[in-house]
Amino acid sequence: MNIHEYQAKAVLKSFGVPVSKGVPVVKAEEAEAAARQLPGPLWVVKSQIHAGGRGKGKFKEAKAGDKGGVRLAKSVDEVKEFAEQMLGSTLVTIQTGPAGKQVNRLYIEDGSDISRELYLSALVDRTTSRVSFVASTEGGMDIEEVAHKTPEKLHTISVDPATGIMPHHGRALAEALDLQGDLAKSAAKLLGQLFTAFVSTDMEMLEINPLIVTKSGELRCLDAKVSFDNNALFRHPDIAELRDETEEDAKEIEASKYDLNYITLDGTIGCMVNGAGLAMATMDIIKLYGEAPANFLDVGGGATKEKVTAAFKIITADPNVKGILVNIFGGIMRCDVIAEGVIAAVKDVGLQVPLVVRLEGTNVELGKKIIRDSGLNVIPADDLDDAAQKVVAAVKAAKG
């Protein structure tokens, strides 16, 4: 689960991490009031969307100008002006895709006097089973380019979970960031705070870019991107509350309500399958015959008719879906339950695209009979190969 910058900063602050003062707002008038609470003389108006690259992003609307999604304001009036322009506008960054994301919230932050911009991130390294930090002196808005062109400027510091942060990690970080004296000590302290925050809230990823050295010689986190391990969210109800569903894929949210394992993909064939292994095989064979899956969907072992109906509706609601393949191996799952779920969904929302159904296993004859008797325009298939070819052919024919 991803959260906004202002939320990430609040989480980090609770672990003692140095961040700037700021106020999240959803209206331009609030932005003005927020700016008055901050000392000035510099303010920063920051778009809050679940995507990075905001500073170099561009708004689609002309009113928001082409100055990007993070703007420095020199007066309270300017804060208000920028807020009016940015709120409700659509920001396109390298991470949003061409459709961009609507900015519904801003973070009004105290402006910092920046002397240096550094980079520091942490992630769970699956090969070493440890938390690894990545540090670089080349922080700021071009870190992707640094990673690409001069990877030797990124330094990795891996932390053994049995020992946690040791003094040598702090020294390694100070060296990687080229910090001396008090700043080196601050870096070591920050590393400990970030590690504690990371582990105790079950973060998956933490990125501070930039971590700055201020003109007065302090370290401060000026940007924060955090994501949490969904499988551990049950342990952190306070963090689960930070979820902003408007930033997430609506289909995935709907699917999670029904406990369906659903992921949106960018192909044309909607898949309804039981079991992750069969779902992967189904996606593979669709690719083999020249089309791509529009989603991964595992309805699970003991799905009810309601769950199947919900799953089918999620698939049909996706405008990218040009054909549907239902591929069920009835073990614990019964083929008649699948058939009833599909029919209930079609009765509710109709069926605009070709539907290929391949059923096998428990109650298969009953399942097939239910579909035959329903009068639905279903293309039946006998095995997976046959099913994949039929749905690909139907989609290709519809495309013309």
Identify the residue among 7, 48, 209, 274 touching Mg ion (CB under 5 A).
209
In 3D space, the residue among 314, 316, 264 whose CA is nearest the CA of residue 294 turns out to be 264
Q: How far is the CB of 223 from Mg ion (least distance, A)?
A: 3
Q: Give the CB-nearest residue to Mg ion.
A: 223
Identify the residue among 32, 109, 336, 340 touching ligand ADP (CB under 6 A).
109
Q: How far is the CB of 223 from ligand ADP (least distance, A)?
A: 3
Is residue 289 annotated as a catalytic residue, yes or no?
no
By CB under 6 A, residue 112 contacts ligand ADP:
yes
Q: Which is nearer to ligand ADP, 81 or 386 (CB)?
A: 81
Which of 6, 32, 107, 119 is the catalytic position?
119
Q: How far is the CB of 44 from ligand ADP (least distance, A)?
A: 4
| Strand 261-264, strand 155-159: pairing | unpaired
Q: Return the range that interacts with ligand ADP (CB under 6 A); candidates 53-61, 167-175, 271-279, 294-302.
A: 53-61
Q: Is 223 annotated as a binding residue?
A: yes
Q: How far is the CB of 151 from ligand ADP (least distance, A)?
A: 20
d(CA 247, CA 265): 17
- Show contacts with ligand ADP in window 129-188 (CB under 6 A): 140-141
Decide: helix, strand or coil at residue 38.
coil
Identify the residue among 5, 32, 117, 223 touching Mg ion (CB under 5 A).
223
Q: How far is the CB of 196 from Mg ion (least distance, A)?
A: 22
| Amino acid residing at 153 | K
- CA 19 to chain centroid, in Å, comes to 23
Tell me if 45 sits within 8 A of 82, measured CB to CB. yes
d(CA 52, CA 140): 12
Which of 207, 247, 291, 340 is the catalytic position?
207
Decide: helix, strand or coil at residue 33.
helix
Ordered alpha helix ranges (H), the chain: 5-13, 28-37, 76-86, 143-149, 167-176, 181-200, 237-240, 250-257, 276-288, 305-316, 335-349, 364-374, 384-399
Spatial neighbors of 101 by CB under 8 A, at least 6 apart, are 49, 50, 51, 90, 91, 247
Is residue 107 annotated as a catalytic residue, yes or no?
no
Q: Pick from ligand ADP, Mg ion, none: which does 117 bind, CB < 5 to 8 A by kind?
A: ligand ADP
Q: Pick from Mg ion, ligand ADP, none: which does 361 bind, CB < 5 to 8 A by kind?
A: none
Identify the residue among 76, 91, 172, 222 touching ligand ADP (CB under 6 A).
222
Tell me if 72 sits within 8 A of 111, measured CB to CB. yes
DSSP of 299-332: --TT--HHHHHHHHHHHHT-TT--EEEEEEEESS
Q: Pick from Mg ion, ligand ADP, none: which does 220 bind, CB < 5 to 8 A by kind?
A: none
Q: Is 295 annotated as a binding residue?
A: no
Angle at 216 between CA 214 and CA 221, to 5 degrees: 30
- Show contacts with ligand ADP in window 12-51 (CB under 6 A): 20, 44, 46
Identify the residue among 11, 19, 45, 70 touching ligand ADP (CB under 6 A).
70
Q: Which two tokens stand for residue 103?
A: 């900015």
Q: Which is nearer to ligand ADP, 46 or 251 (CB)?
A: 46
Decide: helix, strand or coil at residue 243.
coil
Q: Which is nearer to ligand ADP, 76 or 311 (CB)?
A: 76
Q: How far is the CB of 53 from ligand ADP (least distance, A)?
A: 5
Q: Which is nearer to ligand ADP, 20 or 121 (CB)?
A: 20
Q: Which is nearer to Mg ion, 209 or 282 (CB)?
A: 209
Q: Is the peptide bond before 167 cis (omega within 30 degrees of 0)?
A: no
Identify the residue among 18, 40, 53, 65 touching ligand ADP (CB under 6 A).
53
Q: Distances from the Cα of 84 to the Cαs of 28, 31, 77, 175, in angstroms?
A: 5, 9, 11, 43
Q: How far is the CB of 212 from ligand ADP (least distance, A)?
A: 8
Catalytic residue list: 119, 207
Interface residues toward Mg ion, by CB under 5 A: 209, 223
Interface residues toward ligand ADP, by CB under 6 A: 20, 44, 46, 52-55, 70, 109, 111-112, 114, 117, 140-141, 209-210, 222-223
